[in-house]
Structure 1
Amino acid sequence: MVLVSTEDLVDVVIIGAGISGIGAAYRIRERNPGTSFVILERRERIGGTWDLFRYPGVRSDSSIFTLCLPYEPWTGRARVADGDEIREYLVDTARKYGIDSHIRFRHHVISADWDSSTDTWTVTADEDGTPRTYRSRFVFFGSGYYNYDDGYTPDFAGVETFAGTLVHPQHWPQDLDYTGKKMVVIGSGATAMSLVPALTERAGQVTLLQRTPTYLISAASRSRFVDVVTKVLPRRLAHPIIRFNMALLEGVLWLLARKTPPVLKWALRQTAVRNLPSGYDVDTHFKPPYQPWDQRLCLIPDADLYGQISAGRVEMVTDRIDHFDATGIALQSGAHLDADIIVTATGLQLQALGGVRISLDGVEIKPTDRFVYKAHMLEDVPNLFWCVGYTNASWTLRADMTARATAKLLAHMADRGVTHAYPHRGDEPLAEKSAWDIQAGYVLRSPHALPRSGTKRPWNVRQNYFADALDYRFDRIEESMVFGRAGERVPLAG
């Protein structure tokens, strides 16, 4: 399988040095020893999302025991980890397994073009203004699902008149001094819920302004189960047990939300009532108009947001913005929120394959026009893999499955002596559904920003880890796949 172990000619180009990219490198080399690879990372450090987001309080929004990699145990005992801790974990993991020496930083990938006469990809990147070209047999996209350059900020009327500081969490200024300041955070998602409690440590006043409430789920930051298992078992044995237990809990919670929503809504409301002051208007601020898991549940460890509200350090406001003015925000109710700093925690912008231009034999294709095969390949696109996580569980659960499936296909192709493989669905009509079945704003704003999903396997992008894990265990690797050798033209029609 190995081509030439040089900088610009490798077996696999991996795009992104976050959880997905580091995990792909490990799994590919584990199953295919001797395979050459390079990781092209746009930023200056390892970490991906966990390097990009540097706002106060940034943390995992699912259990760190499922977010970490299955072969590298998390050594802490808290369920949730800070962003810096996660990034350091990835740095240590990459160093431990010798992956860090394969990373090329400050490489912004611009395009990837497939040549069917040689069955190779030509990947073009910009390195500090200098074009760099890499050729490879395979390309693995570990670049996530959103636009790293631009977060989403609505077109607020009068925003240009605001005399204070306007910040989006995706680009948090590291020199921002908010000590004693009046701060308004706009949003109701995971970013806002983790940011607000952290701001109270220095800010003079913090107001959380939301248009619509979200479901909040509180869990103890420390798990007795984790404490017991790590105490009686070696870390290597304890880790898979803890990981499975946490994944199971997340899966049961999601199933409960979908099958018996009134039960979960009652339980979440009771948690709010117990942790907020007597008589607090829970239903105005914490009773969403939709069902649980129509949008992702927000995790608040140890009910920290409720605690800050009870202590008088956070004010909740549920209202709609009329316009900005020089001193803050005028609301449709007629109220006004004074602010020195306004934080727009208003979401992400979806983007497939990091915005990289993809072409086959010089003909550009749109990934968003293609159906997804087994959640990690695109129809009629050879030797290309895309990693995207679950909406209702930890990102890494699917990321690791994708990495193992990629490594498995590479080994299968080497055994058969073929040089390209791509999924093909033929001419049979395929019913379509949304690849992401949640009603989050960033999904609703861009319903066609991601590749397409069918309703039946292997073209169905499911949000069910346990079903996918079972499917992977009994996977038929040649199902709906076309294998061949260089010179056999790949179909361009989707």
Structure 2
Amino acid sequence: MSATQTLSRGAATKTEHFDVLVVGAGISGIGAAYHLKTQTPGTSYVILETQETFGGTWSTHKYPGIRSDSDLYTFGYRFKPWVNAPIASAEEILKYMGEVIEENDIGRHIRYRHKIVKTAWSSLDNTWTVEAVRLDTDETVTFTCNFLWMCQGYYRHDVGYTPDWEGLEDFKGRIVHPQNWPQDLDLTGKKVLLIGSGATAATLVPAIAGKCAHVTMLQRSPTYFIPGRNANELADILRQLEIDETWIHEIVRRKILFDGGEFTRRSFEEPETVRNELLSGVRAFLGDEAVQEHFTPKYRPWSQRIAFVPEGDLFKAVIDGHASVVTDEIDRFVPEGVKLKSGKVIEADVVITATGFHLSVLGDIEMTVDGKPLDMSKTVTYRGMMFTGVPNLVWVFGYFRASWTLRVDLLGDFVCRLLGHMKKKGVKRVTPELRPEDKDMTLGPRMDPEDFNPGYLQRGGHLLPKAGNKPEWRHSQDYWREKDELPKIDLDDPIFRYGN
């Protein structure tokens, strides 16, 4: 760890310098730290984390039953075997991440309760200056680094998205967003209305069903679900054969990824067949009438994330009579609950708004490049990880149709290879820039809404960098291509503008 003494604004302050500064100690930041340690020994780095512990989503979200909606053989890191059930609770995921931190001596590099408020790039010094506030002391601290690795995720952790429905102030009960779950909330004997139909709703409903008087899931439109056993038959067989866990992890991981690639391909090439297969899974629990009324989405499979329902627990809660599903739109809130556009009123003591989150671009941190405010929407993305005109910065943004962590590992390889390449060339700065043949390239939104269109992208997509119509200038969201393409990136391509 290197540190320097500098003077800032006329007062003596301590400015610490690192080769790499990692923003966030969630699944991406801890993965980044592992790759720095193992692939670039001797590189100094620090992780700044706003929260008081590691974990990101898995530590900030406290709602009942919180679990992964991706299997842990692929949501887990490629370098550490997962040995439990594929769909895991937040507690299990945090335990796994804690082991990664301890086994690789990452903890001493993390500064908790450090909220970054601004960053500034200087081409004169070829460094980023990062200003943060220590939340435990309100002290402002300053860091400089050669490279900024943004691992803070893509949504605001402190507040979730709740639509501005008419009459909210008239409701006499309590309104709760899962992202800000109050630990004193007792649902015993309460009539609960949960608004939403995504993975959070599919997790919450079975977690509280039977513990409250009744829970109603109100959805504007249905979501695709995949019910199944929370087990991996191949992994179980290999364990019976006493195969080493490292081998099991790799074999099962490859099988899941192969199957996922086929499923994704078929969702584009055989959408009706895939649609019928998905609906059949739900129909096995609830029958045709319920599927037609409440579980038949209007959109093509994989236009939005598909939630896995372990052991069909969501549907079992409906069968048992502890939960019900209503498909309708909200007209307004009324004192006793919610009035629907059909005229029906759903009475509730507690309303849970599982209605999504706010998109956050680079953590909503104020950023400047050579004194000019950085507007990311004016940049063009290089493969969804670097941005034109922004030197020495990579943002980890994962996959929508595969586990987020798959890209954490791929970008870990890329960043470490890039850092080594810069060292070999004797340069201190790299910036992706459009080549002459790219100047007239058609630009559009980072994510084509015809391809993938969840609510948070429709609300905040205009804040994201632009994408081009060439493979280099967009995030393909295709892990099965990127796993082969990213390792072969020519770091001497004219796209990469190096300098001192």
- TM-score, normalized by length of structure 1? 0.95
State the distance in 1 between where 2:464 and 2:430 align.
22
- Please show how residues 86-485 of structure 1 align to structure 2 within 5 Å: 86-128=93-135, 129-232=138-241, 233-276=243-286, 278=287, 280-426=289-435, 428-436=439-447, 437-479=451-493, 480-485=495-500
Q: What is the DSSP-based 3-state SS (H/G/I as helix, E as strand, rest coil) of the residue aligned with 1:114?
A: strand
Q: State the Cα distance separating 1:375 from its structure 2 match.
A: 2.1
Structure 1 runs of 4+ off > 3 angstroms?
2-7
Q: Aligned-pair distance for 1:304? A: 1.4
Write the deviation string for residues 87-141 of structure 1: whole angstroms up to 9, x where unpaired.
Answer: 2211221121011111001111111111111111100111122211000101100
Report if the CA contact (8 A) 1:350-1:450 is conserved. no
CA contact (8 A) 2:210 2:322 kept: no
Gaps of 5+ in 1: 486-494
In structure 2, C-alpha distance between the alignment counterparts of 1:262 and 1:215, rounded to whole Å: 13
> Mind listing any 5+ residue stretches in structure 2 that lack a counterpart?
5-13
| Matched AA of 2:476 | R
Q: Which amino acid aligns with 2:480?
A: F
The number of equivalent residue pairs is 482
CA contact (8 A) 1:125 1:133 kept: yes
Corresponding position of 1:73: 81
The percent of aligned pairs where both chains have the same amino acid is 38
Q: CA deviation at 1:151?
A: 1.2
Provide the C-alpha distance between the structure 2 equivalents of 1:374 and 1:134, rounded to a whole number of angstroms: 28
* Residue 66 of structure 1, CA deviation: 0.4
2:22 to 7, 14, 17: 14
Alpha-carbon offset, residue 300 of structure 1: 0.9
Say if 1:31 and 1:411, in contact at 8 Å, map to a contact too: no
1:35 aligns with 2:43: yes
How far did 1:371 drift? 1.1
Deviation at 1:395, TM superposition (A): 0.3
Which position in structure 1 is the counterpart of 2:10? none
Considering only aligned residues, what root-mean-square deviation do their CA atoms show, in Å? Answer: 1.5
Question: Which residue is 1:490 aligned to?
Answer: none
Q: Deviations over 1:191-234 (max 9, x none)?
A: 11111111114111010000111111112211111111233310
Q: Note the alpha carbon deviations across 1:378-425, whole angstroms, 9 max, x for none.
A: 112111110011111100011211121111101111111111111111
CA 1:115–1:3: 2 relative to 1, 3 Å? farther
Does the 8 Å contact 1:352/1:368 carry over to 2?
no
TM-score, with length taken from structure 2 = 0.94
SS in 1 for 2:497: strand
Name whichever of 391-400 and 372-381 sits farther off: 372-381
Q: Give deviations 1:3-33, integer Å, cap 9, x for gaps.
A: 6599711111100000100011111221110
